[in-house]
């Protein structure tokens, strides 16, 4: 079970089932399982299937040296499984990740996220030194996942000035595409610049954590750009995989699963509020995309609807509190969901960390407003102060998973009986 406090949070049958649906989404994007399913070694050929199962073959006999570099929250576990698959064929490697593990051929450096430190810069320079020393007869397997924009950090201006600029924009509520455009302009390695530093062949295996799966936005695209003939970028995972795992679990639990969107975005507190409003006003079409007879039979017997969503919202920070976009989405939804009987909303960051906190997200239901009032908590004040973490800590409604080792941005469910 990925959700560590599921039993404690599951104080009602509906809450428990909602958490089980979320947990199934996390299980579906398990990093080691994804690499195991998508990457195989056969007769000196590395066989890679992208997220649509299109196959690429890389003939390893063509290369004198094979090195692995990586950056992102999932990169260390990606490296672990790749090392198991490729064995002694890997000659060297460096990965910067939030999750540090010990590998045989690849050195894993623990970096910080979302705010980079000089340790991230030091690790990035080591990756640069490694790839710079390679020739056109060498192969770089690059492992890219969400969080790479902060973890792979090598500014082209002074570090403190860089931090000041990025942090200012980070708190302004701009989306990840615009934030990463700023990061690219201030970097020696983003926007294809890392790939330009080497003559080696690069195969990038990528997990998407951004809405729309733009390869140039994921980790700010260190191996993505015009004129990079030495690079193959292969997308292995996005949030549709998590949604499919959630959909199947919802069906098994007897709900009608409705996938609302995998491109959720906007100001978090308003997104949560408007999402529940649409459900109340029945402005969401109840279309189920599967036509399988077995599933349709189960749907006809369902006693409720599980609305599933994924994406990445934003938070405009005006207060001095602590929280994250998933917690703020849930906080903003409380006044509306209190109008619904037999309902629950859960939203979490799939990496297990929501903003600068130790929690993945939060859970709210139709009784949350009553409970908050009983505890003397003011929803509107918490929203003004951006203090969703303190609010949900007192409510005892924070979802804890720890670092999941994967990342496809945020996932969520609303169940209405």
Q: Find where tokens 């049958």 sit.
A: 13
Over residues 132-138, the mean pLDDT reads 97
CA distance 398 to 327: 8
Given this model, what pLDDT does residue 185 score? 84
Over residues 32-54, the mean pLDDT reads 96
For residue 24 the two structure tokens come to 């199934």
Which of 20-34, 171-185, 279-293, 402-416 has the least mean pLDDT? Answer: 279-293
Element (H, E) at 378: none
| 339-389 pLDDT per residue, tens | 998 999 999 999 999 999 999 999 999 999 999 999 999 999 999 999 999
Choose between 163 and 29: higher pLDDT. 29
6-28+240-416: CATH superfamily: MOFRL domain (3.40.1480.10)
pLDDT grade for 236, boundaries at 50, 70 and 90: very high
CATH class of the domain comprising 52-237: alpha beta
Own/partner pairs, 3-10, CB within 8 angstroms, 24+ separation: 3/360, 3/399, 3/400, 3/401, 4/400, 4/401, 4/402, 5/398, 5/399, 5/400, 8/396, 9/363, 9/397, 9/399
pLDDT over 60 at 295, yes or no: no
Q: Find where tokens 């700010």 sit.
A: 220
For residues 398 and 362, the answer to whether their CB atoms sit within 8 Å is yes
pLDDT over 70 at 99, yes or no: yes
Coil, strand or helix at 405:
coil
Environment class of 184 (CB within 10 Å of its CB; exposed 0-12, middle 13-18, buried 19+): buried
Domain extent listing, the chain: 6-28+240-416, 52-237
| 172-209 pLDDT per residue, tens | 666 677 777 788 888 999 999 999 999 999 999 999 99
The answer to whether domain 6-28+240-416 and domain 52-237 are alike in fold is no
pLDDT grade for 292, boundaries at 50, 70 and 90: very low
Q: Across the chain, what does the average pLDDT equal?
A: 93
| Contacts with 199 (C-beta within 8 Å, 6 or more apart), sequence order | 134, 135, 136, 138, 230
pLDDT grade for 390, boundaries at 50, 70 and 90: very high
User: What DSSP string runs through 144-172?
Assistant: E-TTHHHHS--BSS-HHHHHHHHHHHHTT
For residues 44 and 61, the answer to whether their CB atoms sit within 8 Å is yes
CA distance 178 to 289: 33
For residues 14 and 343, the answer to whether their CB atoms sit within 8 Å is yes
pLDDT grade for 286, boundaries at 50, 70 and 90: low
| Other Cβ atoms closer than 10 A to 119 | 15
| Contacts with 416 (C-beta within 8 Å, 6 or more apart), sequence order | 279, 304, 305, 307, 340, 342, 343
For residues 35 and 70, the answer to whether their CB atoms sit within 8 Å is no
Q: Which is it for strands 343-349 and 304-311: parallel, antiparallel or unpaired?
A: unpaired
How far does the chain reach from its first CA to its final CA, in angstroms?
25
Q: Is the peptide bond before 114 cis (omega within 30 degrees of 0)?
A: yes
Q: Find where tokens 């006809």 sit.
A: 300
For residue 275 the two structure tokens come to 């999402």
Coil, strand or helix at 122:
helix
| 60-71 pLDDT per residue, tens | 999 999 999 999
Coil, strand or helix at 176:
helix
pLDDT grade for 293, boundaries at 50, 70 and 90: very low
Coil, strand or helix at 258:
strand
């Amino acid at each position: 079970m990925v959700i560590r406090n599921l039993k404690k949070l599951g104080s009602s049958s509906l809450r428990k089932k909602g958490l089980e649906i979320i947990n199934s989404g996390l299980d579906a994007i398990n990093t080691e399982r994804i690499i195991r399913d998508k990457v195989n070694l056969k007769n000196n050929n590395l066989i890679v299937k992208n997220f649509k199962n299109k196959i690429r073959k890389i003939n390893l006999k063509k290369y004198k040296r094979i090195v692995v570099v990586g950056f992102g929250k999932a990169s260390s576990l990606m490296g672990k499984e790749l090392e198991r698959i490729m064995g002694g064929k890997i000659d060297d490697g460096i990965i910067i990740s939030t999750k540090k593990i010990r590998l045989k051929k690849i050195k894993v450096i623990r970096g910080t996220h979302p705010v980079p430190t000089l340790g991230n810069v030091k690790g990035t320079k080591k990756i640069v030194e490694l790839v710079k020393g390679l020739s056109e007869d060498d192969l770089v397997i690059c492992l890219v996942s969400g969080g790479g924009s902060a973890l792979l950090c090598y500014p082209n201006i002074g570090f403190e000035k860089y931090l000041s600029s990025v942090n200012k924009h980070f708190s302004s509520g701009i989306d990840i595409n615009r934030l990463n455009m700023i990061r690219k302009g201030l970097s020696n390695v983003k926007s294809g610049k890392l790939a330009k530093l080497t003559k080696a062949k690069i195969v990038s295996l990528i997990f998407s954590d951004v809405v729309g799966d733009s390869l140039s936005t994921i980790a700010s695209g260190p191996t993505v750009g015009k004129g990079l003939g030495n690079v193959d970028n292969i997308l292995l995972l996005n949030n549709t995989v998590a949604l499919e795992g959630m959909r199947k679990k919802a069906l098994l639990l007897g709900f009608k699963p409705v996938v609302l969107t995998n491109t959720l975005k906007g100001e978090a507190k308003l997104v949560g509020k408007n999402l529940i409003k649409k459900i109340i006003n029945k402005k969401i079409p109840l279309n189920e995309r599967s036509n399988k007879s077995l599933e349709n039979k189960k749907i006809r017997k369902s006693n409720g609807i599980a609305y599933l969503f994924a994406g990445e919202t934003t938070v405009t920070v005006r207060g001095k509190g602590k929280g994250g976009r998933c917690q703020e989405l849930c906080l903003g939804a409380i006044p509306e969901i209190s109008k619904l009987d037999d309902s629950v909303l859960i939203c979490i960051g799939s990496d297990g960390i929501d903003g600068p906190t130790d929690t993945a997200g939060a859970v709210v239901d139709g009784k949350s407003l009553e409970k908050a009032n009983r505890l003397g908590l003011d929803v509107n004040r918490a929203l003004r102060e951006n203090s969703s973490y303190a609010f949900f800590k007192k409510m005892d409604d924070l979802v804890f998973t720890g670092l999941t080792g994967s990342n496809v941005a945020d996932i969520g469910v609303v169940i209405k009986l």
